[in-house]
Chain A
Amino acid sequence: MSTKRLWDLVFAGLIAAAAVVFLPRALAPGSAFVARMPEAAILTLTPLVKLACLLVAAWAATASARGFEAGNPVRPAWRLLATGLGLYALGQAVSVYYQLLRDVRTPFPSPADFFFVLSAGFLILALPAFVRAFRDAGFPFDPRRDVLLPGAAGVLLGIGVLFLVHPALDADRFGLAEALNVFYPLSDVVMLVPAIVLARITARLRGGSVAAVWALLAAGFLVLVVGDVCFAWLTIAEDARFDPLGDLAYVVAYALFARATLRQRELLAG
């Protein structure tokens, strides 16, 4: 079995396992199946799996950025992505510290949010950089078809996201937690537009090995938005069902980032 196939199976298996663990916990929390789950193992493994995926993604994105020569239009995009994923991994490492070493739920807000907020800035900048690189490389690029229409779809979805989390704005006390509950979905909305543009471009590359890299990246960003909406709802509505849904979305998003960046590294290695 080739290394590429092996990694495909590892990440597909990881996503499937996350669905088996977290979906029943969200949809049927009182079921016998959930009651039989090894709770301690899940609580230990989940933050570690998230951290492992983010570390792999940050490492492979860094390797990819280094694999592109100076002056290559896509190199800045990979560097921004690598920095964003690295900061995300630092935030997750802080979360692991709370959950596994101090045996408490990660406070919100916490020092982890400092890294998550910084990371969001780099990730937001990375996405348009990929789109610019594609345009500058001389591939057929129609701003109306490739940017305006998918961008409009992204704006509509973004409005939907804001509608979902608007109760955070109505909070009686508007502190750092509430501000972050607004910032995360807002940054997601900003991220959604170029993510959908990237997905649109990727559709035109279908059938080629590059499509997998960019499709996995775009999908990772879209699932990340779902995770942030779940997290915002968990804290706004204090509805515990959103906790496993958020965990599922984050594990899937990080796994997609890891596979995308590893695939790019494989492409560069030939």
Chain B
Amino acid sequence: MPPVTPRSAVPCQRVEEVVERVLSPYVGATMARAATRGHYRALGIGGPDLEPEQLDSLVQKVGLGLHIFVGRERTAELLAAIRRDLDSQGAPA
């Protein structure tokens, strides 16, 4: 899975919104939210921002979950969509 490689830290809330928006059509809004928060806990993410490495780890975990439902190719497309969304919104300095 390609890394997300953001330029700098990204606010957790923004990441949550993007990940939930991509996951929701597949696993529903409730599970998308629960899964994202569960991954935050598992990765020990507690601060207001996600460092680039944390974001990579999060996206890898999201991909691991998605690929049992939609397979590797579609998962790669969806992770790319997450990356595009985060890039297009621009990471704060």
Contacts and interface: CB of A to CB of B under 8 A. Distances in A.
A253 B42 CA distance: 39
Contacts of A204: 28, 30-31, 34
A229 to B, nearest CB: 32
Contacts, number: 81
Interface residues of A, number: 25
Interface string B23-37: 111111111101100
A149 B32 CA distance: 23
B39 interface: yes
Contacts of A267: 26, 69-70, 74
A113 B72 CA distance: 38
A207 B67 CA distance: 18
A68 B70 CA distance: 8
A210 B26 contact: yes
Interface residues of B, number: 27
A267 B27 CA distance: 12
A143 interface: no
B31 to A, nearest CB: 5
B24 A207 contact: yes
Dominant secondary structure of chain A at its interface with chain B? loop
A140 B38 contact: yes
A43 B27 CA distance: 41
Contacts of B70: 210, 267-268, 270
B65 interface: yes
Report which residue of B23, B28, B68, B71 has the largest number of chain A beta carbons within 10 angstroms of its beta carbon: B68
Given A69-B72, A210-B69, A137 B64 contact: yes
B28 to A, nearest CB: 3
B38 A139 contact: yes
A73 interface: yes
Contact of B71 (A67, A137, A139, A207): A67
A72 B71 contact: yes
Nearest to B38: A140
A68 B71 contact: yes
Contacts of B71: 67-69, 72, 268
A205 B28 contact: yes
A207 B34 CA distance: 14
Nearest to B67: A72
Contacts of B77: 270
Given A72-B67, A137-B68, A140-B38, 17 more contacts: A68-B72, A139-B35, A139-B65, A140-B31, A204-B30, A204-B31, A207-B28, A208-B25, A208-B32, A209-B25, A209-B26, A210-B26, A267-B70, A268-B74, A270-B70, A270-B74, A270-B77
Interface of A: 67-69, 72-74, 133-134, 136-140, 204-211, 213, 267-268, 270
Q: Which 3 A-B pairs have the closest CB atoms?
A: A207-B28, A208-B28, A74-B68
